[in-house]
Structure 1
Amino acid sequence: MTAPFFLSDAGVPRQEGAVVVLEGAEGRHAVSVRRITVGETVLVGDGFGTVVEAEAIGVVGRDRLEARVVSVVVHEPPSPRVIVVQALPKGERGDLSVELLTEVGADVVVPWSASRSVAVWKGEKAQRGVEKWRTTAREAAKQSRQPFVPEIDPLATTAEVVALVSAAVGSGGTALVLHEAASLRMSSIRLRSTGDVVLVVGPEGGISDDEKAAFEAAGALSARLGPSVLRTSTAGAVAAAVVLASCGRWD
């Protein structure tokens, strides 16, 4: 059975024999929920590529676990990066989209206030929404044992997404706008060997003609996934999976 995986906000030591400590909410999860005991093996990551295998050597109270590092693995940052611009879905579907994107292996998620988004984030609600997505990404990374927790950017306007697309294409990357009426199929696209891949996922009401035109003017290609129309909360994860498989990240 694979050892349980935890994330440490305080980072993890990269030396064998060093002691890594889980405390607070993560320590409570290890001690009181997973009931880790002395002698058990755990995996602890920092969310930035370093993962250590460690042996539990001490349990303090209900929320502190101490473990001695047995081995260290430092993962290289993935390339190309996959950046998903996710139009705000309604209700809890935003959390679902972030969860799926994290499990698949997306590197950055950009919440986007599209013109046809049903959900509206303004002021403090925008900050709360971003923080909730970050919490969801962290928990999904633990569940799927990802060495990197995806970045969740602040809420973006359409103009900011256009700038992101332009920067990616200008530096040798690729930008794709998911659109059910596009003639270009995702499966036929040959990605460039360098640069980020930006995927733009529209809201329930679809990307407007003006938004589509602005993205294409910035260098994006419109592409469709297949014969069916997916929900916005699942389309990004499916598209990211196609990209990750085609660029070799899943090899």
Structure 2
Amino acid sequence: MALHFLLESAADAAVGDVVVLGGAEAHHAASVRRVRVGEAVTVGDGRGVWLTGTVASVQPKEVQIEVTSREDVPEPQPRTVLVQALAKGDRDELAVQAATELGIDEIVPWQASRSVSRWDAAKVAKGVARWETISREAAKQAHRPRLASVSAPVTTAQLAARAGVSRMLILEPTADAALTSLTWDAADERDVVLVVGPEGGIAPDELDVLQAAGATLVRLGDTVLRTSTAGPVALALVNAGLGRW
């Protein structure tokens, strides 16, 4: 499969144009991936533009690519959203990486009451930027035409407000309904929002608030998955249910 690179100005390119990678992306192409003149590559803007092209010239700080075809990939409907509770270590970051590879459209950090990791005001911008970097690199590796967006952290109250306008599924090991038992209506364009709790699980009062707001509790199986694993596993099942896999 051809190597894939990101370039914001790709949105302005047409067949026959030459697009230029510079900065970190040029370094990655020339020095890390060692592209060669004549090699086929793909370039995207992360918002649906997908260019196929041939490398025309390679310099350490500039790589030129002649565009041979262009495709504009529409945003999927419904969108899939991962609400990931903050977790200790790198477990939440592992979830962000895997979910991006599997096609998640939006990632929302959640400061759950049982989250060991806490993002105070000084950490929010740094934490969101870190998740954005992880998601961007995962999207490139997966050859995605669209990057996943990383939203600002939400409270439980803000999450409950979102439950009323989406199909929110709370991953809860004690739930009666299995995620695999759900049915999917192709005409339902509401976001599918997967909510994953922290290491200690979602607190009972939080479950009550979210259920009262319209969320549905679902389980993944008879075992309890880590917070880093549950979201990607659930997304894989949703992808299959929506006919994307």
Q: Normalized against structure 1, the TM-score is what?
A: 0.94
In structure 1, C-alpha distance between the alignment counterparts of 2:49 and 2:9, rounded to whole Å: 12
In structure 2, C-alpha distance between the alignment counterparts of 1:36 and 1:15, rounded to whole Å: 22
In structure 2, C-alpha distance between the alignment counterparts of 1:181 and 1:57, rounded to whole Å: 57
CA contact (8 A) 2:10 2:51 kept: no
1:171 aligns to what?
A: none
1:183 aligns to what?
A: 176
Q: Match for 2:199 among 175, 179, 204?
A: 204
Listed as ranges, the gaps of 5+ residues in structure 1 are: 169-173
Shift, 1:166, TM fit: 1.5
SS of equivalent to 1:205: coil
In structure 1, C-alpha distance between the alignment counterparts of 2:213 and 2:185, rounded to whole Å: 17
1:19 aligns with 2:18: yes
In structure 2, C-alpha distance between the alignment counterparts of 1:122 and 1:9, rounded to whole Å: 32
Aligned length: 243
2:117 aligns to what?
A: 119
Shift, 1:14, TM fit: 4.0
Shift, 1:215, TM fit: 0.6
In structure 1, C-alpha distance between the alignment counterparts of 2:122 and 2:89, rounded to whole Å: 17
CA contact (8 A) 1:30 1:63 kept: no
In structure 2, C-alpha distance between the alignment counterparts of 1:139 and 1:238, rounded to whole Å: 20
1:30 aligns to what?
A: 29
SS of equivalent to 1:10: helix
In structure 1, C-alpha distance between the alignment counterparts of 2:181 and 2:232, rounded to whole Å: 18
1:220 aligns with 2:215: yes
SS of equivalent to 1:11: helix
In structure 1, C-alpha distance between the alignment counterparts of 2:3 and 2:105, rounded to whole Å: 23
Task: For residues 175-231 of structure 1, give each alpha carbon's deviation from its aligned partner in whole angstroms, at most 9, with x where no partner exists.
Answer: 110100001000001134311111111110110111101110111110100111100
2:130 aligns to what?
A: 132
Listed as ranges, the gaps of 5+ residues in structure 2 are: none
4+ aligned runs moved over 6 Å, structure 1: none
1:245 aligns to what?
A: 240
CA RMSD between the two structures? 1.1
Shift, 1:7, TM fit: 1.0
In structure 1, C-alpha distance between the alignment counterparts of 2:67 and 2:20, rounded to whole Å: 10
CA contact (8 A) 1:79 1:249 kept: no
* Identity %, equivalent residues: 46
Task: For residues 145-188 of structure 1, give each alpha carbon's deviation from its aligned partner in whole angstroms, at most 9, with x where no partner exists.
Answer: 111110110111111111111222xxxxx111010000100000
Q: Normalized against structure 2, the TM-score is what?
A: 0.96
Q: Which amino acid in the other structure matches residue 190 of structure 1?
A: T
CA contact (8 A) 2:5 2:42 kept: yes
